[in-house]
Amino acid sequence: MKTDLYLSMNPEASKKIAAFLENREEVCDDVFEQFEETLGVVPFILPILRERPDSFVFNGIGDLYTFNPESMDRKTAELIAIAAAAAAGADSCLKVHIGAALQEGATREQVRDAISIAGLVGKTRILGASFRVMQSAIPDDR
């Protein structure tokens, strides 16, 4: 493990990080289980990311907190994840988050609408960028 990354920090913070990392395997296991509980499946990438426990422990905890915001319920978070996965073209993620959204009580119509909104935003992104190029190549006064 590369400990020199945090040794230049404040000594008290360095001690806390070192103590935390001593338990990283156990924390990683807990994070892994929480992802499975939250999503209903273990995403393909998690076991691979788990191979680097010193990184996975920090990223996994951050991802869980980000994915479980206090400001919204789980169903809403899953519908946002569906839209993001659809917009990113991440089919495997889309499948995982559709299942999780259904588990949280989302309807087929809500899933469809989340995907439709992502498609609309994607379409306008393509049109906006393309029309800007067109406008610079062919000015209005031409």
Condensed to tens digits (0 to 9), the pLDDT of residues 112-121 reads: 999 999 999 8
Domain boundaries, the chain: 1-68, 73-142
| pLDDT at residue number 142 | 60
Q: Which residues of 92-131 are buried (b: 16+ CB within 10 A; e: fewer)?
A: ebbebbbebbbebebeeebbeebbebbeeeeeeeeeeeee
**Mean pLDDT comparison of 37-41, 54-58, 81-85, highest-scoring range:** 81-85
The answer to whether 97 touches 106, Cβ cutoff 8 Å, is no
Assigned superfamily of 73-142: AhpD-like (1.20.1290.10)
- For the entire predicted model, the pTM comes to 0.79
